[in-house]
Chains A and B, each alone.
Chain A
């Protein structure tokens, strides 16, 4: 470990962190605006809860709230706290980083001569989001979500969905009759400030991990497998985990090695990064218990691998 390598790792850490912080702030501000605009999150509870419609409606929200994955975590957390159906919140969390105008425009700008990619990326993101939402629904919410998030969520869920033992406060009855008052500025500031600092800390941990791996594992190792159909997909999935760049720019990064890898691997890189990477692990830890995080990682990996394989069968 040379001093030059350490200095480079420190710079990489700063680059990743400073690039992500504005997006994190945007996410926290959107989350605070949602709390103020719709106190109690009543509109969130009206989102569909069907296994397919739920994730699709959440994914569609990405068009309204264009942010990359770092900014999406606080918004998804606010959706879960507000009592949104699990499938909708998960659909938003996993698909919105791709299904938003900025990311689609950057994909088109990077690959104007590959129209299939412009179609395959959002479609693949929806498939992954629906698949993950269906998978995570198999775990009871109490085992999936972090306890403090779950406690807040229970307060906003209708009593017919939550039994009294699960709910630590609130009122009795089938209707939630608490007055819908807008939170005060002080309350918004307290919540937003705390959320930003907590997320910043988790982001820091993710960036430390990503910068260390990037500094000490040469990227050429991952790209060495080039044209091997399955290995190239796995290698590019690993690269997406390590490199941890935002979904709004990952297409431009992919452009630099697109000619060396298979089409399936290219798509796998563009699909996996927005769902899970080293930088995101800390942030997702704010939502999921370790079991949920593990299942998300494994499920996303498997789905993206299958999509990549299918694309390679079609395009090679």
Chain B
């Protein structure tokens, strides 16, 4: 049986599809989109899988051109359909990078309620991140302990029903699917109109305010500076 025309060879099509999927993983590793999707500890695994898949794709393509058995393999209808659909999805992944709304995601998730495993007392207050502050307050809930401490934190604006917007971060253990928000209440100055999802850096002090739920700590900003989204927004 003579080998089918080049474009109809199943091994060649499969090699091309595998190459496309390796491109998805490799491009995700270099263009920064992984920073929006996965915790940094998993990034090398994705890159390694991309390299491995690329090697397999090259091997498959080489065999499709040189090996007589592979060259004679024709694609069956089901395989062609699988190839077409997976190729379309890989192209969509390459063409449409993720652009999640952190505020929208955080609004649907319960708050992270883990306390600090390593308490941040050792850090000077101005060096504590937003996550450090939230966990510290959970471990030491007396707000008077921290009144007047200097604060320098960054995060995105998270609208809260019935309250002023908070400054928040998403905590991720593995990927965006398990993200849980942590947030700090802010006493916004008159005239400030923080927009949902906007990234801000606040410099100010911790203040105690008394509300219906008792005393709580709020950030009283002295300066509010819009900042671009950090390169790794899912890291604490």
Contact = CB atoms under 8 A, between A and B. Distances in A.
B205 interface: no
Contacts of B98: 7, 10-11, 14-15
Interface string B169-191: 00101111110100000000000
B175 to A, nearest CB: 4
A192 B180 CA distance: 37
Contacts of B14: 190, 193-194, 197
A16 to B, nearest CB: 5
B177 A245 contact: yes
Nearest to A200: B86
Which of the listed residues A243, A252, A260 has the most CB atoms from chain B within 10 Å of its own CB?
Answer: A252
A185 B37 CA distance: 35
B113 A186 contact: no
Contacts of A10: 96, 98-100
B86 A244 contact: no
Contact of B38 (A18, A184, A257): A18
A308 B227 CA distance: 47
B52 interface: yes
B17 interface: yes
Interface residues of B, number: 60
B63 A253 contact: no
A256 interface: yes
Contacts of A211: 177
A8 B101 contact: yes
Interface string A1-31: 0101101101110111111011001100100
Interface string B8-35: 0011001101100100110010000110
B105 interface: yes
Nearest to B102: A8
Contact of A18 (B25, B86, B197): B25
A88 B33 CA distance: 40
A197 B83 contact: yes
B177 A201 contact: no
Contact of B18 (A7, A17, A193, A204): A193
Interface stretch (B66-74, B122-130, B145-153, B214-222): B66-74
Nearest to B171: A256
A164 interface: no
A245 B85 contact: no
A18 B177 contact: no
A12 B173 CA distance: 14
A196 interface: yes
A135 interface: no
A7 B99 contact: yes
A259 interface: yes
Interface in A252-280: 252-253, 255-257, 259-260
Nearest to A112: B117
B104 A25 contact: no
A19 B174 contact: yes
A219 interface: yes
Contacts of B96: 10
B113 A260 contact: yes
Contacts of B79: 194
Given A19-B42, A22-B48, A244 B177 contact: yes
A7 B177 contact: no
Given A14-B93, A253-B178, A7 B173 contact: no
A184 B66 CA distance: 14
B113 A12 contact: no
A21 B29 CA distance: 13
B210 interface: no
Contacts of B59: 185, 189
B18 A8 contact: no
B49 A21 contact: yes
A259 to B, nearest CB: 6
Contacts of A257: 110, 113
Interface string A194-207: 10111011001000
B28 to A, nearest CB: 6
A19 B38 contact: yes
A247 to B, nearest CB: 11
Given A8-B104, A11-B99, A15-B175, 16 more contacts: A4-B103, A7-B99, A10-B96, A10-B99, A16-B177, A18-B25, A22-B25, A22-B45, A25-B49, A185-B59, A196-B53, A204-B86, A218-B108, A223-B110, A255-B114, A255-B173
29 contacts: A5-B104, A7-B99, A7-B101, A11-B36, A11-B37, A11-B176, A12-B176, A15-B38, A16-B176, A19-B42, A186-B11, A186-B63, A187-B69, A189-B59, A189-B60, A192-B56, A193-B56, A197-B14, A197-B86, A198-B82, A215-B108, A219-B109, A219-B110, A245-B177, A246-B174, A253-B174, A255-B114, A255-B173, A256-B173
Interface of A: 2, 4-5, 7-8, 10-12, 14-19, 21-22, 25-26, 29, 184-187, 189-190, 192-194, 196-198, 200-201, 204, 210-211, 214-215, 218-220, 223, 243-246, 248-249, 252-253, 255-257, 259-260
